[in-house]
A = this chain, B = another copy of it.
Amino acid sequence: MRRAARLSALCIVALTSSALLAQQDPLPSWNDTAPKSAIVSFVERVTNPASAEFVAPAARIATFDNDGTLWAEQPIYVQLEFVIDRVQALAAERPDWRTQQPFAAVLENDLAALGGLGQRELMQLLAATHSGMTTEEFRATVAEWIATARHPTTGRPYTQMVYQPMLELLRYLRANGFKTYIVSGGGVEFMRPWTEQVYGIPPEQVIGSSGELELELRNGRPVLLKTPAVDFVDDKEGKPIGIERHIGRRPVMAFGNSDGDLPMLQWTMAGPGARFALLVHHTDAQREWAYDRESHVGALSAAWDEALARGWTLVSIADDWATVFPD
């Protein structure tokens, strides 16, 4: 009886909130322009059992790029800010870094040199800051950093540099039975400590780049050690591969903002039945940043052309988003 009473109470709450929600606009930060109607129309069709485009709840998989799609990626990727802060924090123990590139450039805050870093130098910085510790130690370091670090130009915590319209979209899709995933070129262990709190996306629904792990016994207790070896790069062609490895089914909806997302969008759209692909175009120099084809971060060129050719949904931040960041 106590159990039944508790469930009844829950049901009343559920009835009340669902009635309230039905009256509210689930996407208030989206202007009433084409992208919003395209999203709502698609979701209504695939969730309507009477529709020819109905998709069973278990197959409702939506994948989101992170940098530039769910949160800002300018002036540099947030994970690179983390790398810089970690190099500075660790420099006291590594006096050799003062005269050794690429570490010297980071310690002298030489933005020109940092902007020109090649793949090899970047991997050196990643190895120095993302390996040589256990997964638990790294998680604690990231959690502490994300709680205190601030964006270099806005002064906001990075967790407030997320896009309010996308937070609403994630919630709206989940309310309609979608499982929401992050599929990012960023490090999976850099994202998981905060994605649940910030996006409502649990660690097991975060797919990203990763380094090799090694199991080690420390005083008889197993730990997982992060090594400098690259295991997987979840970018470009890596995104469909990461999706197949982790999810094992093709997404129904995919969201990105750059050429690195193109293979994920192509993979999503190549399946049978109803499909939805969306690209965020950074057009708002006032409220965010304006960049695309020529940008050194998040270049949107081939993917833009393909979106236009195939009629995928293109979001212009300046035109389609009423609000960009949370209050």
Residues of A at the B interface (CB closer than 8 Å) are 3-4, 7-8, 11, 14-15, 18-19, 22, 58, 61, 135, 179, 188-189, 192, 196, 202-204, 206, 210, 213-215, 221-222, 224, 231, 237, 240-241, 244-249, 263, 266-267, 270
Contact = CB atoms under 8 A, between A and B. Distances in A.
Contact of A3 (B18, B203, B222, B266): B18
B263 A213 contact: no
A248 B73 CA distance: 24
Contacts of A246: 204, 246
Most buried by B among A192, A215, A263: A215
28 contacts: A3-B19, A3-B22, A4-B15, A7-B11, A7-B14, A7-B18, A8-B11, A8-B15, A58-B202, A61-B204, A135-B244, A179-B204, A189-B248, A203-B248, A203-B249, A204-B246, A204-B248, A213-B245, A215-B237, A215-B240, A215-B241, A215-B263, A215-B267, A222-B240, A222-B263, A224-B240, A224-B244, A246-B246
Contacts of A202: 58
A249 B192 CA distance: 9
A8 B270 CA distance: 39
A67 to B, nearest CB: 19
A73 to B, nearest CB: 22
A213 B204 CA distance: 21
